[in-house]
Amino acid sequence: MELFVQQLINGLTIGTIYALIALGYTMVYGIIQLINFAHGEVFMVGAYIGLTAITFFGFVSGSTLPMAMLYLAVMLLISMAGSGLLGIVIDQIAYRPIRNSPRLVALISAIGVSFVLQNAVMLIYGPQDQGVPQIVPDIHFIFGDVTITLMQIMILAVSLVLMVFLNFLVQHTQLGRAMRATSQDHKMARLVGINVNWIISLTFFIGSAMAAVGGVLFGLYYHTVNFHDGYLAGLKAFTAAVLGGIGNIPGAMVGGVLIGLAEGLGAGYISSEWKNVFAFVILVLILLFKPTGLFGERVADRA
Amino acid sequence: MIKKQGLGSGVQGPGRKYLFFWPLAFGLFLILPLIDHSAYHQDVLVTAGIYILLALGLNMIVGYAGLLNLGYAAFFGIGAYTCAGLNLAWHIPFWLALPVAVVVTGFFGFLVGLPVLRVKGDYLAIVTLGFGEIVRIVFNNLDPITGGPNGLLGIEHPVIFYPVFNPSLIWKRFDFGVSSFPYYYLVFFCVILVAYFSLRLDRSRIGRAWIAVREDEVAAGCMGIPVPQVKLLAFGVGSSIAGIAGSIFAAKQGTITPDSFDFILSVMILAMVVLGGMGSVPGVILGGLVLSILPELLREFSIYRMLIFGLVMILMMIFRPQGFLGNVRRKYELTTR
Amino acid sequence: MSLLRVDNISKSFGGLKAIQNVSISIRPGEIVGLIGPNGAGKTTFFNCITGIYKPDAGTVMFGDYEQEITGLVSYMISWRGMARTFQNIRLFANMSVLENVIVGAHKHIRSSLVDLLFPSKRSYADEMKFVRRAHELLEFFGIDRYANDLASSIPYGSQRRLELARALACEPKLLLLDEPAAGMNPQEKQDLLEHISEIRRQGISILIVEHDMKVIMPLSDKVVVLDHGEKIAEGRPEEIQKNPLVIEAYLGKQ
């Protein structure tokens, strides 16, 4: 039972990070029906930007909790802005010129972007793991055999706030209405006076910013980042997006948490060596037997 | 009066005036290791040949049948592990293990192809990617059979026997060993065979059915093409080619590890097909050759290699998505006899 | 005894009832015209018969022994002897004109993967038989000069004819034509009429959807009228022209 609860907490933590990344996949897919293969790298870049920011501001270990909060907020904001802009630039350079080309063309261009980002980061920071300083104080709350860290609570809290905010934005604001209209039909959206290109850029910005938050939290949680991290996390987050029904924002959140839980429990009860296989098995099974996902209506079948 | 016209005489490629190019290239590559004794050059070309085999196989799936596959390296791995496993477990010689590996790989291709009956486009690409990762993780973790992360080692090199009259007939044993020279001709022969097979496919009932399915699945179905079977066949046949490449790879290296069959390799092979020109056999061969030799030429800039590679992929997709030779019209040059 | 007998088929998409309880039958050698205003469900009806859609209800019987083909997938239906053309031309754009026709003969050609590695005289002769047949078909429609051009590069009217040639290469018993005259000039329409009559003389039955009454009326033995997914009339062309229900469907209530 303790193992179960512990793995539940661990799974939930990593799951919310997957969920943050999954939002970007699902939002971009919803708007332009593109699997933004480079999105995992945006997450990784987000982690590096956060790390750079904190190095730049010279974080001192052992500061007080309010000070740590301030640092975290600075990291998040800078990383979100940087990654958001990166998302827009990626779209402008690699996707916009081929908006109407066959799927394969966009997919390969996206893989190209992914290679460029990975290698650019490797060239700048080196291929080795980069240590991320302990910003959030290392406080453990122990209930019997179950431990929950302050960091885990922070991850859950930050993710929750952002997701509630995003949901509000999409469901209840003028901007959200424009985004939803654009995802239905570009031509009609244009006819009613929506600046479709602007909405697409905005979608890339928000999706990338969410991934950046995931990246910063990921780095703080594991204390290291590596230029390879984006690939696997990106694929798992993509699985989450598909699981929740691609194009469906709440679905991506639920999907992320489910993938995290499956991974946490699988690692706890089966074997941690096989940990990475669970997401892929779920991915393949979902695509085969319920390609619309749990909450989606769309199926990607345009070749 | 209908002219007698030959389908088999069709020419696909840059057209008649460049026809002399192919026999020339064939001749050059045939004698190359006899003039150029550099072991390094031969080694690079053997690797290039293995890549070209893979690209030709993937071309059947992606280029002809239009089915995205991002997990092709897995089949290369299955071929290599099958050949190596047969050799290590039962000392089955390369020449017997090769056909078995081809069949086994083809069978797995067929199995993985089953999803094509349900998913299309991007989703198919992701399913195959997921499968590729699963296979690699299985290789990595199924220690008793695959040797885990250390892989399999001590795979025997191919051996042939040839007759010598001295003065009576005796059979001499020749071990391929570690030098690239004999593998060069093995790979060369296989590339020629698979390229020939591909070109024949292109002009056959089966190849036409693949291309028709790629062009318009609904119309193909209405013209009596059994779409599900045709797609499965493309996956099976295309994957079995990776079995040839995998077997040669295992026999030459003597050692195989799971990380030789990763996602990057799948992408590299796909890039060869796409950059060369999907569906064009000469294009795919050229793509394979360029992408395997270029990194060697760029060795000084090796840390920028993948960065440049990524940039080239993006630029190609924007400015020439049809690839080097992809814009060549499919055309039957007809001969009147 | 009919070649095709459709009994009460229905198909809806979400809440939209595209066709409801439509029945028709076609006797061997007959040409049946299917008309109706835009959105009447003609193409949906075609798609239900040829296996692109599964009808929600009803049965489709086809062939000399009236076997049921309801819900079979399209290639199986094609193998039973039904071929079609499409309203918005669906050629294999990146294949040559000749290849497009040969694809139609797919199930008649016998060649295997082994023949590819070891070409045999037999498989070559077999293949050549269909190449010749394809040229004959192209010549019949007067487009053999395009044989080696890319299908997407030939003129529009010729593309329509190519679709017909491709369908005939399937050697069908029943040919379904979805607006074959759309976008053709009067001369091309005249040629089309002659071609269709010639096809019928070879014993092939035809079900034809068409807007142009100058095409439908002289050709059809029988005309079926659809409106809002329902059959509102059926009869000889001259009866249909006088039928008040049909006039109302086309012109609206007077």
Beta strands C222-227 and C230-235, pairing class: antiparallel
Question: What is the token pair recorded at A176?
Answer: 């959200």
Q: Please give the residue range of the domain that contains residue C43.
A: 1-81+172-254
From A103, A111, A120, residue closest to B313, measured CB to CB: A111
- Residue A228 is classified by DSSP as T
Chain B closest CA to A113's CA: distance in Å? 6
What's the confidence (pLDDT) of residue B271?
86
Neighbours of B271 (CB within 10 A): 24
Find, among C99, C112, C116, the residue nearest to C169 by Cα.
C99
For residues A140 and C33, give the distance between their C-alpha atoms in angstroms, rounded to a whole number.
80
Residues C20 and C62 in one domain: yes
Of C147, C169, C191, the residue at which a domain comes to its end is: C169
- Residue C37 is classified by DSSP as S
For residues C63 and C65, give the distance between their C-alpha atoms in angstroms, rounded to a whole number.
5
Specify the amino acid at residue A62: G
Question: What is the token pair recorded at B275?
Answer: 């950059």
CA dihedral A21, A27, A30, A34 (to 10 degrees): -60
CA dihedral A242, A245, A248, A252 (to 10 degrees): -50
Q: Output the pTM of the full model.
A: 0.86
What's the confidence (pLDDT) of residue B331?
42
Q: Is residue C254 part of a domain?
A: yes
CB of C78 closer than 8 Å to CB of B198: no
Find, among B207, B249, B218, B214, the residue nearest to B97 by Cα.
B249
Contact (CB<8Å) B306/A118: yes
Question: What is the token pair recorded at B146?
Answer: 């695959």
Task: Give kind and range of the element (H or E) at residue A4.
Answer: helix A2-32
Domain count, chain C: 2
The domains of chain B, with CATH numbers, are: 39-307 (1.10.3470)
Ramachandran area for residue B148 (φ above 0: left; ψ -120 to 50: alpha; else beta)? left
Residues C70 and C178 in one domain: yes
Chain B closest CA to C129's CA: distance in Å? 10
Q: Is residue C86 part of a domain?
A: no
CB of A198 closer than 8 Å to CB of A31: no
Of C148, C169, C190, the residue at which a domain comes to its end is: C169
Question: What is the token pair recorded at B250?
Answer: 């295992």
Of C139, C169, C199, the residue at which a domain comes to its end is: C169
Task: Give kind and range of the element (H or E) at residue A51.
Answer: helix A39-56
| Integer angstrom CA distances of residue B209 from B223, C95, C162, C205, C223 | 10, 11, 18, 27, 36
User: Looking up tokens 């399913």, which residue turns up?
Assistant: B127
Find, among C34, C6, C1, C26, the residue nearest to C174 by Cα.
C26
pLDDT values of chain B reduced to their tens digit, one per residue, 337 residues: 333 333 333 334 444 556 677 788 888 888 888 888 888 888 899 999 999 999 999 999 999 998 888 899 999 999 999 999 999 989 899 999 999 999 999 999 998 888 767 777 777 888 888 889 899 989 988 888 888 888 888 888 888 888 888 888 888 888 888 888 889 999 999 999 999 999 888 888 899 999 999 989 999 999 999 999 999 999 999 999 999 999 999 999 989 999 889 888 998 899 889 888 888 898 999 999 988 888 788 777 777 878 888 898 899 888 887 777 764 444 443 332 2
Asked if B5 has any chain C CB less than 8 Å from its own CB, the reply is yes
What's the confidence (pLDDT) of residue A62?
63
Indicate the pLDDT class of residue C252, thresholds 50, 70 and 90: low
Question: What CATH number has the domain bearing residue C1?
Answer: 3.40.50.300
CB of C114 closer than 8 Å to CB of B205: no
CB of A262 closer than 8 Å to CB of A250: no
Question: What is the token pair recorded at B270?
Answer: 């796909």
Beta strands A130-131 and C16-26, pairing class: unpaired
Q: Is residue C87 part of a domain?
A: no
Contact (CB<8Å) B222/C78: yes
Question: Which ranges in C151-212 belong to alpha helices (H)?
Answer: 156-169, 186-201
Least confident of A231-240, A264-273, C174-183: A264-273
What's the confidence (pLDDT) of residue B18?
60
Give the count of Cβ contacts less than 8 A between chain B and C: 120
CB of B28 closer than 8 Å to CB of C148: no
CB of B279 closer than 8 Å to CB of B60: no
Residues C181 and C162 in one domain: no
Residues C98-147 have pLDDT tens digits of: 999 999 888 888 777 777 777 778 878 888 888 999 999 999 999 999 98
Chain B closest CA to C12's CA: distance in Å? 20
SS3 call for B160: strand
Residues C163 and C176 in one domain: no
For residues B67 and B278, give the distance between their C-alpha atoms in angstroms, rounded to a whole number.
11
What's the confidence (pLDDT) of residue B1?
33
Ramachandran area for residue A92 (φ above 0: left; ψ -120 to 50: alpha; else beta)? alpha
Residues C144 and C179 in one domain: no
What's the confidence (pLDDT) of residue B82?
95
Strand partners, B159: B175
pLDDT above 80 for C1: no
ipTM: 0.91
Q: Looking at chain A, which runs of residues are DSSP E strands?
A: 130-131, 140-143, 146-149, 224-225
What's the confidence (pLDDT) of residue C196?
93
Residues C66 and C176 in one domain: yes
User: Would you call B165 exposed, middle or buried from its count of C-beta atoms within 10 A (0-12, 13-18, 19+)?
Assistant: exposed
In B, minimum Cα distance to A282 occurs at B130
Asked if A270 has any chain B CB less than 8 Å from its own CB, the reply is no
Residues C212 and C179 in one domain: yes
What residues have CB less than 8 Å from B96, skipping those under 6 apart?
A: B86
Residues C75 and C147 in one domain: no
What chains are in contact with C, requiring at least 3 Cβ pairs below 8 Å?
B
What's the confidence (pLDDT) of residue B4?
35
Span A182-193, mean pLDDT? Answer: 87
Residues C57 and C108 in one domain: no
Cis geometry, peptide bond prior to residue B226 (ω within 30 degrees of 0): no
- Residue A92 is classified by DSSP as I
Contact (CB<8Å) B2/C75: no
User: Looking up tokens 């992701």, which residue turns up?
Assistant: B126
Residues C75 and C181 in one domain: yes
Residues A9-60 have pLDDT tens digits of: 989 999 999 999 999 999 998 888 888 989 999 999 999 999 999 888 877 6
For residues B66 and A194, give the distance between their C-alpha atoms in angstroms, rounded to a whole number.
36
